[in-house]
A and B are shown apart, each in its own frame.
Chain A
């Protein structure tokens, strides 16, 4: 089955700086890669996703890059703000057929004011 690894497990950055979180996946059949933000005790919220037919996607301060050959994808947050502090999870799945999400282990991001 799919295995998703995520690094780092914790990340602290100064407000205004950029944060990068990296994930690798094992199953070449995976073609959908969402990123979720989860605050304590709350449900995961989708912040950005990418399908395997594109290499990069951007939404304001958030971007995701995908390297299918190397089987890794990354989340980039620029101009970080205190409200970006949360736990971030990457995930991988197939968009058709078996759609179950396999999650990475999570990254606790802390923005230092």
Chain B
């Protein structure tokens, strides 16, 4: 199946700093990618839909100025957590669908963010 990568896999940052997470579709083009957040022992919550060449669509309650999304190419979307705080510590996962082949959405391996 299609492959989606994320970088970094783990990051620890200090409160008040910004962190950028990359999501790449390695063998297909994705006009749309999705960003999820997962707290321990909880489900995946969609944060936003990343649209190539246009603004992201944010879910209700997600601050667009805090979670900046850029989808500059058909294979790369980035999520920047600005002015991170300890409550932003979570597992962030992206996904993308290869529309050529199936309905399946492929998930990246996730990024564990810890804000100290």
Question: Which A residues are within 8 Å of any B CB, using their own CB?
Answer: 32, 34, 41-46, 49, 51, 89, 95, 98-106
The secondary structure that dominates the B interface is strand
Which residues of B sit under 8 angstroms from A99, Cβ to Cβ? 32, 97, 105
Task: Report 9 cross-chain contacts, Cβ distance below 8 Å, ordered by A residue.
Answer: A41-B91, A43-B93, A43-B108, A43-B110, A46-B105, A49-B104, A99-B105, A103-B43, A103-B45
* Known contacts A100-B49, A103-B44, A106-B43; A44 and B34 CB within 8 A of each other: no
> Residue B8 at the A interface, CB < 8 A?
no
A100 touches B34 (CB 8 A): yes
> How many chain-B residues does the 8 Å CB contact rule pick out?
20
Instruction: For the complex formed, measure the closest distance between the CB of A82 and the CB atoms of chain B, giving whole angstroms.
Output: 21
A104 touches B32 (CB 8 A): no
Neighbour of B42 across the interface among A34, A45, A106, CB < 8 A:
A106
B87-116 vs A, Cβ < 8 Å mask (1 yes, 0 no): 000010101010000011101111010000
Cα(A42)–Cα(B109), bound, Å: 6
> Residue B46 at the A interface, CB < 8 A?
yes
Cα(A12)–Cα(B49), bound, Å: 35
A101 touches B43 (CB 8 A): no
Which residues of B sit under 8 angstroms from A105, Cβ to Cβ? 42-43
Within 8 A of A (CB), among B31-84: 32, 34, 42-46, 49
Neighbour of A104 across the interface among B43, B49, B109, CB < 8 A:
B43
Closest to A51 in B: B103
Instruction: For the complex formed, measure the closest distance between the CB of B98 and the CB atoms of chain A, giving whole angstroms.
Output: 12
Cα(A100)–Cα(B32), bound, Å: 10
B44 touches A44 (CB 8 A): yes
* Known contacts A43-B107, A43-B109; A100 and B46 CB within 8 A of each other: yes
